Chains A and B, each alone.
Chain A
Amino acid sequence: MTQKTNDQEILAVSKIISIFTDGILFFDQSNKLVLMNKEAEKILNISKKDVIRKKIIELIGTPYLENIVGALLSGRKKRWEEEMEINEKIINVSFVKNNGTLIVLHDITKEKMVEQMKNEFVSIVAHQLRTPISSIKWTLKMFLEESFGRTTKEQKKYLKKIYTVNEKMVELINDLLNIAKIEEGRYVYKPVSTNLGRLIDSTIEQFKEKAEAKNIKISFNNLEKNAKVVVDPEKIKLVLQNLIDNAIKYNHEEGKVMIALKKEEDNLLVSVKDTGMGIPTNQQKRIFTKFFRAANVMKTDAEGSGLGLYINKELIEAHGGKIWFESVEKKGSSFYFSLPLQKNKNKIK
């Protein structure tokens, strides 16, 4: 291809991309910046004439563009996306390598703002709901304790039922608050060295009554009594609570919940197996999505918010771990999560 036709080609493409609402940059195979549209100039706050036809190396040190060049130089994949703060805006930057590199800058500041408003809204509503729910909880409890005079056996039966329903609302609000925090990305982590086995022990202890009510046996096979992980213990406890709660809730009377802890390469692996109703194969894909509840569960159990496993996935991945499951309908489910094992202290130093 002659230089002339190449220039003509660039001119033609420039014309087309000049009207795009996203910022576009294109580096050719020799890593020279050959295309750039108006929107990219605007987003990066630079003028085309200062940068066009320059090589990547020459662009290091150009404000804003530098971030992109840095990501481009360290990127190893064929295509990827990154969120960057550029000139007080939040930009989704996507990179596509194919005979050169195409970079698309998409301004997502507005979406991020709406998302933040939504999270704040959920958080405020949830907090506000806690007050009336507390009054209901306290009043019911005091009726049951006969602070307001005697209550009959039948009255007590129904008061207890309302109390249980109200407790579900308390849990739902907790879930919503957790999710709002996770999605805001300001979930505070204070990772400390934690003995995972002991955390599991104390969580099982909390579910004793609930399990006994359904005659369910919980066993724990701890093969790593001394192993530690560096985690936020409250968050990992929440993950365990969600898994054990599900294993009891979706189990049969006299079923089993089998928990195990073992090492697998550089990770600690926790499994929570139940002998319950399982997850239908055609619904397994969606099990970690927000508000999703499997069809068989919906028929038998009206409770549950569809938030627990979503929270779990977010939390485990935020700790650098993985979560997955195996399930056969009517046989039971096994949930697994792994967390990176704490390295020997000497090695860290």
Chain B
Amino acid sequence: MKKKILIVEDDRFLRELIAKKIKEQGYDVSEAGDGESGLKLIKETKLDLILLDLILPGIDGFQVLKNIKQDPETADIPVIILSNLGQKEDIDKGMDLGAEDFLIKAHFTPGEIIEKIKITLD
């Protein structure tokens, strides 16, 4: 069965690009444009990995991550933060909350992001 990846990203263009790239690699993709609908999908679907942006309308990514890790049903799903924040405090906060990795969008190509996903899923 194909592994399923959720992308939580409010910028539609970026979301489309990375979704296309991930689909090319043979994964199933779900998409959410804000934290609230992201959390809803996380509860309803069985996911193998979550790509999470931090600055989101409404509930922000840090809060989404906190909720995922607090719920025993979802706590084991690996979360990779994909954000344009990237100061030391942000990275420390994300990693402390239980993220697998912290990728700054402007510093990684789609191919490099796929690499990180593969390493995490293996």
Choose the segment among B16-24, B28-36, B65-73 that binds chain A (4+ C-beta atoms closer than 8 Å): B16-24
The chain B residue sitting closest to A126, CB to CB, is: B84
Q: Mark B95-122, 1 if CB is under 8 A from A, else 0.
A: 0000000001111011100000000000
Query: In the complex, A141 Cα to B13 Cα: how many Å?
Result: 15
Query: In the complex, A138 Cα to B84 Cα: how many Å?
Result: 14
**B76 touches A (CB below 8 Å):** no
Query: In the complex, A142 Cα to B105 Cα: how many Å?
Result: 14
The chain A residue sitting closest to B107, CB to CB, is: A170
List of A residues within 8 angstroms of B2 by Cβ? none
> Distance (Å) between the CB of B60 and the closest chain A CB?
14
Within 8 A of B (CB), among A89-132: 127, 130-131
- Contact call B106/A170, Cβ cutoff below 8 A: yes
List of B residues within 8 angstroms of A173 by Cβ? 106
| Chain A, interface residues (CB within 8 Å), range | 20 to 34
**A147 touches B (CB below 8 Å):** yes
The chain B residue sitting closest to A178, CB to CB, is: B87
**A135 touches B (CB below 8 Å):** yes
> Distance (Å) between the CB of B17 and the closest chain A CB?
5
Q: Which of A137, A142, A234 meets B88, CB within 8 Å?
A: A234
> Distance (Å) between the CB of B57 and the closest chain A CB?
14
- Contacts A131-B11, A139-B17, A142-B21 given; indicate if A181 touches B109 (C-beta within 8 A): no
List of A residues within 8 angstroms of B21 by Cβ? 138, 142, 147
Q: Which of A130, A188, A190 meets B84, CB within 8 Å?
A: A130
**B44 touches A (CB below 8 Å):** no
List of B residues within 8 angstroms of A141 by Cβ? 109-111
Greatest chain B CB density within 10 A among A127, A134, A173 is at A134
Q: Is the interface of B mostly helix, strand, loop or mixed?
A: helix
The chain A residue sitting closest to B105, CB to CB, is: A134
List of B residues within 8 angstroms of A145 by Cβ? 110-111
- Contacts A131-B84, A134-B84 given; indicate if A147 touches B20 (C-beta within 8 A): yes
- Contact call A130/B106, Cβ cutoff below 8 A: yes
- Contact call B109/A138, Cβ cutoff below 8 A: yes
- Contact call B14/A134, Cβ cutoff below 8 A: yes
**A17 touches B (CB below 8 Å):** no
Q: Mark A129-170, 1 if CB is under 8 A from B, else 0.
A: 011011101110110010100000000000000000000001
> Distance (Å) between the CB of B8 and the closest chain A CB?
15
- Contact call B17/A142, Cβ cutoff below 8 A: yes
- Contact call B88/A188, Cβ cutoff below 8 A: yes
- Contact call A147/B11, Cβ cutoff below 8 A: no
**B85 touches A (CB below 8 Å):** yes
Q: Mark A265-279, 1 if CB is under 8 A from B, else 0.
A: 000000000000000
Residues of A within 8 A of B (CB): 127, 130-131, 133-135, 137-139, 141-142, 145, 147, 170, 173, 177, 181, 188, 190, 234
Besides A137-B109, A142-B17, 20 new A-B residue pairs in contact (Cβ under 8 A), listed by A number: A127-B84, A127-B85, A130-B84, A130-B105, A131-B11, A134-B14, A135-B11, A135-B14, A135-B17, A138-B14, A138-B17, A138-B18, A138-B109, A141-B109, A142-B20, A142-B110, A145-B110, A145-B111, A170-B107, A188-B87
Residues of B within 8 A of A (CB): 11, 13-14, 17-18, 20-21, 24, 84-85, 87-89, 104-107, 109-111
